[in-house]
Structures are given as C-alpha cells and as structure tokens.
Amino acid sequence: MSQNAEVLVVAEQKDVDLKAIGAQFRDAREAREISIADASAETHIRQLYLKAIENGNLDALPGHIYKIGFVKTYATYLKLDAAQILTEMNLIEEITPDYSSFTYAIPVDRQRRPGIKITLAAATLLFIGGVILYVSDEFAIHESEAVSEEHVALPVAEVHSVSGLDTHHSVPDLEVAPIQETTVTEASAVSQVSSLPIADFPVRIVATKNAWVQVSDDAGKAVFVRLMREGETYTVPAEGRFKLNTGNGGGVKLSIGDKLSTPVGDEGKVVRGIDLSKDSVSKVLERSDVPH
C-alpha cells in the first residue's frame, strides 16, 4: 500500500471515530429529552457548535482551545466521561502543554519578589505622601473658614424680579479651575464709594443667602467655584468677559460701587449664563436702583 493510501485510510478512520463519539453526545441528550436549544442555554455554547460536536465535525469549532473547552463542558453537562472522550478525540495532549519549553525574558533564578527593604521604603513613601496631602487639605479648609468668619453682613433689599437678565442661555460643560478666595469688603469702605463714578468700581457678586456660585470665562473654563455664604462677596476680574451660574438665584445679587441689584432669580432656582460685563450689570442696576 502506498504512503498516500495509508494517510487516506487513517483520515477516514479518524473521521468515522469522531462521528461515533459525536453520536454518544446526541444519544445522551435525547435520552434525557433535552433539546439543542435547552443544552445551548445551559452550557452557554452556541447551537451551531453543539451540533458540530454531535456530528463529529470538530473542524467547525473555532480553535483548539475551544474544541477542548466545548467538548469537556458538553460531556460534563450530559454526564459523560469527559477525560475519556477527550482522549478518544486526540485532544488530551492540548490540555497539558509542556511549559518547560517556554522561553522567559528573565532567567528563572532571577525571577523573585521585591526584597523587604524595597517594600518598606515604598510603604514609607506612600505614608509620608498621605500625611502631606492630609495636612495640606486641612490647612486649606481652615484658611477658607477664617476668611468666611471675617465677612460683613450686607443688608437684604426688598426682592423684585430683575427684568432684562438672560437666564436661559445654555452653558457648556465647564472645566473646574482653581478656586479664588472671596473678597470681603470692609463696612467702612462702603460709606466712601457713593461719591465716585460707577465706572471706577468693579462688578461684584453678593451672596445675600447661602448659594453655590460659579463664574466662567468665554471658553467655558471656571475661574471661581464655591459655596458662598450669606454676606460674602466676589469681585469679577476686570479683564475678559464672564458669565454667572448659581444654584440659588434668590440668594445672589450683583453690585457696582454702592448700587445693588435685586436677586438674579427665584429662591432655590438654578440660574445660568448671566452676563457679568460692566455694561450689562449697569443696565440691570439702573432698572433696580436699589441703594447698597
């Protein structure tokens, strides 16, 4: 018999054996009155692959690893001898690869865990970093509280609706920038500003009640973000154009010099996109005309 004929005989014999083994799966499933759909749902293997196993068509499975996994899972599910079936299908060798033939980038004798000194040094650095971060946060909190305690309470004017304020502009998602500290105006300075032109004074945001306030520039970047407490003020930068967002429209007013507007919105309502340019605020103050 020629060599080609021998190969053909072996291939045919192997194909017959796989079909016979596949028949064991089909017989076991039908004996338990389990449909292909139910078996697929229980084993999480596609019906296409379960049918291929039952037909002895392992070439239809996606790869060697899947062949072993699918056959073993399906055999176990049907209470068949998974190890024996894998051996009969010549899949047993793929379950136990020879790891001794693997090539490692680092010699085995040098593959070891970090020493105790390195571990302790890393832990020490992490601890010191945590302490520094904690102390820095505590210092920032105390400094912020100290500024808040120095504020001078401002008189609350009679509440009117402010006409002319555009509170419906959509504002892009804002990038939070570093928080500026609130500038608190001394009470003694208030009495000296009434005689000066309004153009000589900056625009200020006055919190008559606790309110979350955010000031953003034209690019949508926040230049001031914080919860302002009653009586605190914030001076808007002179250079650039800025807009105001607040979570409590009834607790925020605008001011230039000794002029104070009515609240920018309703109590507890979110207000967005208020123009903080001096021209825009001046027009609002002319309509409000409420003395500081």
d(CA 145, CA 126): 29
- What is the 3 state secondary structure string of the chain? CCHHHHHHHHHHHHHHHHHHHHHHHHHHHHHCCCCHHHHHHHHCCCHHHHHHHHCCCHHHCCCHHHHHHHHHHHHHHCCCCHHHHHHHCCCHHHCCCCHHHCCCCCCHHHCCCCCHHHHHHHHHHHHHHHHHHHHHHHHHHHHHHHHHHCCCCCCCCCCCCCCCCCCCCCCCCCECCCCCCCCCCCHHHHCCCCCCCHHHCCEEEEECCCEEEEEEECCCEEEEEEEECCCCEEECCCCCCEEEEECCHHHEEEEECCEECCCCCCCCCCEEEEECCHHHHHHHHHHHCEEC
- Picking from 128, 258, 151, the residue whose alpha carbon sits closest to that of residue 208 is 151
With beta carbons less than 8 A apart as the criterion, state whether 221 and 175 touch: yes
For residue 40, the number of C-alpha atoms closer than 13 Å in the C-beta half-sphere is 12
pLDDT (tens digit, 0 to 9) for every residue of the chain, 292 residues total?
A: 444 444 443 444 445 478 999 899 999 999 999 999 999 999 999 999 999 999 989 889 988 888 899 999 999 999 999 898 988 888 865 445 555 555 555 555 555 666 788 888 888 999 998 889 887 766 666 555 554 444 434 343 333 444 444 444 444 444 444 444 444 444 444 444 445 566 678 999 999 999 999 999 989 999 999 999 999 999 999 888 999 999 999 999 999 988 899 999 999 999 999 999 988 998 888 887 655 4
Listed as own residue / partner, the contacts of 66-73 with beta carbons closer than 8 Å and 24 or more positions apart are 67/91, 67/94, 68/94, 68/95, 70/45, 73/43, 73/45
* Structure tokens given for 184: 């608190």
First to last CA, the chain: 114
- Domains of the chain in start order, with CATH, are 3-97 (1.10.260.40), 187-291 (2.60.40)
